[in-house]
Each structure stands twice: as structure tokens, then as C-alpha cells.
Amino acid sequence: MSTNIKTDDLIYPYFVISGKGKAEEIGSFPGQRRFSIDKLLADIKESADLGLNKVLIFGVPAGKDKEGSFAYLKGNIVSAAVKEVKKQFPKVKVMTDVCLCAYTSHGHCGILKRHRKQIDLAATLDVLSKIAVAHAQAGADYVAPSAMAQGQVEAIRKALNEAGHKRTKIMGYSAKFASSFYGPFRNAAGSAPKFGDRRAYQLDYRHRKNALREIGDDIGEGADIVMVKPALSYLDIIRDVRSEYRTPLAAYNVSGEYVFVKYGARKGLWRERDIVFEIMTSIKRAGADFIITYHAKDIARWLKE
Ligand code: PBG
């Protein structure tokens, strides 16, 4: 397999907020912004003109509650964005993050049991399915469940089929580790947990085998693309998955990995372009087919030069 980086390999994440005319800088996250839908469309036009054809949309909702209902109720921010993006850029593949952490008042990725700080799996699968169906209805090409709730791909597949969305695909955040590298993202999406951490549902980075098991489960449940996240500290896992399975594989070059590069470049420690190509090549060499990265637009620009 070629390790050359192409725009077709890249998936560019976007954060969407309500309102108009907004393109807010994100303090912790140099070079990334939160866009209202009108500005999002303008930015996606730039991306598409550069040859990028896959975007991953994260919603930053106007409100939060215990049930995360802002994630799926009529008029939710992601569905609204997807509708407009698909209308204007039918060729761009639109993927949506399906999770609850940005929508729940407690900041966890699932619904909690009534008097206990524990995830209620059945309730969580139910809400994740509602979110996926809402996104599919709006025209998402892929829904990407990232809550690490057991059985989420199967539950979502079933719900999509029942709602008549057999053609909507699923990209599972299959092997998602409990990682410190998500720091800048949580700031961008306002999704940090209010208490505790995510170790009850995200993977323990000390173990390799669990990741392969999670990937196998997601493939069995019907995932069209599986994912390893983060990427750089997990290249061995990417390689393991590639050797074991044929399913298309994405690696998420996450926010913390991105800011490392940015801060170093600003300090003159390295040339941004050089280090980005080295990193992307290493992720492809390990075996990823797709890379979700905040560098995508820069890479597309560099590839054109
Ligand atoms: C939501 C989610 C997270 C990321 C993507 N989807 C954060 C988390 O698990 O807290 C992180 C992405 C990044 O750091 O770039 N569950």
C-alpha cells in the first residue's frame, strides 16, 4: 500500500455552533474555529476547492440536559448543518460524531443511572440511536458513534435500517483510548466531564488486546469503517488492526497531537510542513486508510503547491 498522502485519505473535523456570522477562534486550539452554519459553508467551500471531500461534524449545542436531548431534537445543530452542507456540496461526504458528552450536563458520553454515577447502557443506546437517525434523516453519509457504549454499532445499524436509512454508513470509533491527548478538543466542544473521567468506557492504554477485540466487535456489528484513536501513541494498534482485518481503517490524529505540532512550529523548533508529512506518513505506514486530522486543510494546500 502506498504511503503517499492524498486528499482522498483525509477527513477534516468541524465544530458547529448556532447563530450567524460566527467563526470563533478556540483559545486552546490554534488554527481551529467554531463556525455558525453560514461560515461553515464558506469554509467547507475552501476545503472542497482544495480537494478535500470528507468532513466530520461536531455540534456545540446551545443547551445541555441530563438526557442530551439537544443532540437529536428537531432543529439540533448537527442536523441543521448537515442539511445545508449536503445541499450545497453533494459530493462532500459528511460524517457526524454521535456522542453525548457535549450535550449532557454532566459531560459524560452516555446517560447516567438515576442515583449512581454509572452509565445506563440501555438508555444510552436508545439515545445514540435517536441521534444517528436524526443525522441520517438530515443527509449524513456516515454516522460515527464515539461514546464507546457496548453494542452501539449494532443498535445504531438496527435503528437506521428500521427508519429506512439502509444506505447510511457507520464509522465506529472502535478502539478509543482514555487519553490525555483529547484536552484541546474538550475545550473546543465544551465536553469535559464534570466529575470523574472516561476510564469506565474508554480503553486502558496499557493493553493491546482489548483494542483488537473492540475492533472485531464493531466489524461484527456492521461498522463500515473502524477507527483507532488517538493515532501517534497507538501506531502499534493501527498495525495490529491492519494485519488482522480488511475493513477500512481510520486513525484519529487528535487535538493534543495537533497542538504539539503547532506550538513547536511557532517556537521555531521544526518546519510545520515537514513534521506534518512525517506524522501523516507514519500513520499511513502503520496501516490506516483514512486520517482524521485538523491539519487536513494545510496538507491539501501543501499538496497543491
Ligand atoms: C467525544 C469525542 C472526543 C474526541 C472526539 N469525539 C473527546 C473525548 O472522548 O473526550 C476527541 C477528539 C480530539 O481530541 O481531537 N466523545
Average pLDDT score over residue span 188-201: 86
Q: pLDDT band at 269, cuts 50/70/90?
A: very high
Q: Is the pLDDT of residue 1 over 80?
A: no
* Residue of 169, 176, 284, 297 marked catalytic: 176
Strand partners, 293: 253
Ligand 1 binding pocket mutation candidate from 60, 191, 227, 261 (most atoms within 8 A of CB): 191
The reported pLDDT for the residue numbered 82 is 98
Q: Which residues does 197 contact at the CB level (< 8 Å), separation at least 6?
A: 178
Question: Ligand 1 in contact with 99 (CB < 6 A)?
Answer: yes
Cell of 228: 483507532
229 an active-site residue?
A: yes
For 203-226, letters b (16+ CB in 10 Å) and e give bebeeeeebbebbbbbbebbbbbb
Q: Which residues does 210 contact at the CB level (< 8 Å), separation at least 6?
A: 203, 204
The reported pLDDT for the residue numbered 116 is 72
pLDDT tens digit sequence for 220-247? 999 999 999 999 999 999 999 999 999 9
pTM (2 d.p.): 0.96
Q: Which helix (H) or strand (E) holds 124?
A: helix 121-138
